[in-house]
Structure 1
Amino acid sequence: MKKRLALFVALVATPLFGMAQQEERDDPRKALAIFAHPDDELFVAPALARAAREGDEVTLVLATSGDQGPGVSGFERGDALAAARRDEARCSAEALGLREPVFLGHGDGTLAATPRAPDSPARRLTADLAAIIAEEQPDIVVTFGPDGGYGHGDHRMVSALVTQVVQAIDDDRPSLFYPGIRKGTLPPLPQMQDWAVTAPALLTIAYRYADEDLAAARAATQCHATQFDAATRAQIADLFHATIWGGAVHFRPAFGQPR
């Protein structure tokens, strides 16, 4: 496993995508992309698409089914919306070349409630995260950083609990990576100006993607019809490509340089 982790660092840190393509690969890596809601994966979509295209086994793990996020749909909050959003997540995963998503089924908007209580949503989610990481034995885990991307409470809680589980693993601990928005790259949209940014020097890994990975990200975005209107779905991936990503999804290792 350590050989594979070292290879991962060489692949993602190289400054040229073409050079990364020429690196010798051994057996596929296993990666878990763990997020709070269907559509959170769009934040790193080209990176997931590239990893899957190059043969890695990438699984999207979602803590909730987004049952409280009506978006632009006519759904009431609840089970029907959750079912629709699970279907959208499956569509997105297929577009990105990922394995069947895992839905942990926790309540949307509940994860930060009374986290120290004996049967709190946070404690139940922690147990589920520990179980799936132990079962899958991934080489790599990706989740939001402590900022939650734009401060969403569920995003922050998933980040904290994933980190808590991974940092407690003694042997063959997976490498944990946080994506980030480089300071100075936010699009000039008023609704995005309070999104969290990271000093570029901290984002030491630029995981470059190809045109086909960006195309996969566009297709994945189209799946989330309950959350974004048609005009927005047509623009998100290209907007991020022109600003936040700039040809690479940027990450930082959670615990310093990976082993």
Structure 2
Amino acid sequence: MAVRGWTIAVAALLTGFAAQAQETASKPRLLFVMAHPDDEVFVAPAIARATRKGQPVTVVFATSGDQGPGVTDMERSAALAELREGEARCSMAALGGPEARFLRLGDGTLGVAAHHPESSAQKFAEALGPILAEGDFEMVFTWGPDGGYGHADHRMVSALTTQLVQAMGDDRPALLFPGIRAGTLPPVPEMQTWAVTDPALLDIPIEYGPDDLAAAARAVGCHESQFDAATRAGMMPLFDQSIWQGAVHFRFGLPEHIRAVETHAEPGPLPRP
């Protein structure tokens, strides 16, 4: 897809832009690349909004979370992975039915000997490459380099997804990272190790409505093996009031996208970077 195409597609995701962008843009196909079932809750309102608008969405889970442990008493095993895949499918249904793909790599292994030919990292790249090569994703969303709170699987998913996208040609999709704006981190002890980002960098706000937030809350409710009942009930209201405040915030992951999108309020031919 040409630069102008994905620029208009991004503009169509945002509120407050010209009606021309809404009318001109086709419904872009979106790809979310996550490390584990439940990672999607960090951007759940954006997924819910996209599916509500009729945009095709695919969510890839690199691992099935077989190491848990979350709040379940289950042993770390294939059975736990199967349970967590079921929770992810429940979450996808709550978010409007995006397609879910499970790569079933070992939980906690993506950062282990990543350069070795038989490593989980190499297997992840080998599996994600053909998905990207399908050729019709206009935007790819994944963890930023911080991995949220530094989880090695999150960081590797970010790095490897970026590596594959940056190697693509002019028709590569836009790459976007979510982030927590500095100053919005809620006063929850468990979240004090989460990374924050200068708000000036998070200049792609994808706004959501009450229905999207309700869908996100239902999605979190699916992850019973990961969060206790109080956390499941309180997470989305907490994120809504602190981190998001009406929009999930993203930034572009590749420099040429930043330069090209500077004129996205006026869709039209853009200079090549």
Q: Please give the TM-score of this superposition, normalised by the length of structure 1.
A: 0.94
Give the match for residue 69 of structure 2: 70
Q: Which string of whole-angstrom CA distances, capped at 9 and with x for unpartnered residues, describes residues 95-136 of structure 1?
A: 111323100010000000011112111111111111111125
CA distance in 1: counterparts of 2:67 and 2:189, whole angstroms: 24
- The letter for the 1-side match of 2:88 is A
Shift of 1:53: 0.7
* Structure 1: 4+ residue segments shifted above 6 A: 19-22
- The letter for the 1-side match of 2:10 is V
Give the match for residue 169 of structure 2: 170
Give the match for residue 10 of structure 1: 11
Give the match for residue 105 of structure 2: 106
Local SS of the residue matching 1:24: helix
Local SS of the residue matching 2:133: helix
Shift of 1:194: 1.2
Q: Which string of whole-angstrom CA distances, capped at 9 and with x for unpartnered residues, describes residues 203-235 of structure 1?
A: 011110011000000000000000001111000
- Greater shift after overlay, 135-144 or 151-160? 135-144
Give the match for residue 210 of structure 2: 211
Asked if 2 retains the 8 angstrom alpha-carbon contact of 1:13 and 1:204, the reply is: no
CA distance in 2: counterparts of 1:41 and 1:200, whole angstroms: 21
Shift of 1:7: 2.1
Q: Which runs of 5+ in 1 are unaligned?
A: none
Give the match for residue 149 of structure 1: 148
Query: CA separation of 1:57/1:20 partners in 2, compared to 1, >3 Å: closer, same or farther?
Result: farther
Q: Which string of whole-angstrom CA distances, capped at 9 and with x for unpartnered residues, describes residues 120-155 of structure 1?
A: 111111111111111253111000000001110100
Q: Which runs of 5+ in 2 are unaligned?
A: 261-273
Shift of 1:31: 0.8
Local SS of the residue matching 1:178: strand
Q: Identity percentage over the alignment?
A: 55
Cα RMSD for the two superposed structures: 1.8
CA distance in 1: counterparts of 2:90 and 2:60, whole angstroms: 14
Q: Please give the TM-score of this superposition, normalised by the length of structure 2.
A: 0.89
CA distance in 2: counterparts of 1:89 and 1:133, whole angstroms: 21
Query: CA separation of 1:114/1:174 partners in 2, compared to 1, >3 Å: closer, same or farther?
Result: same
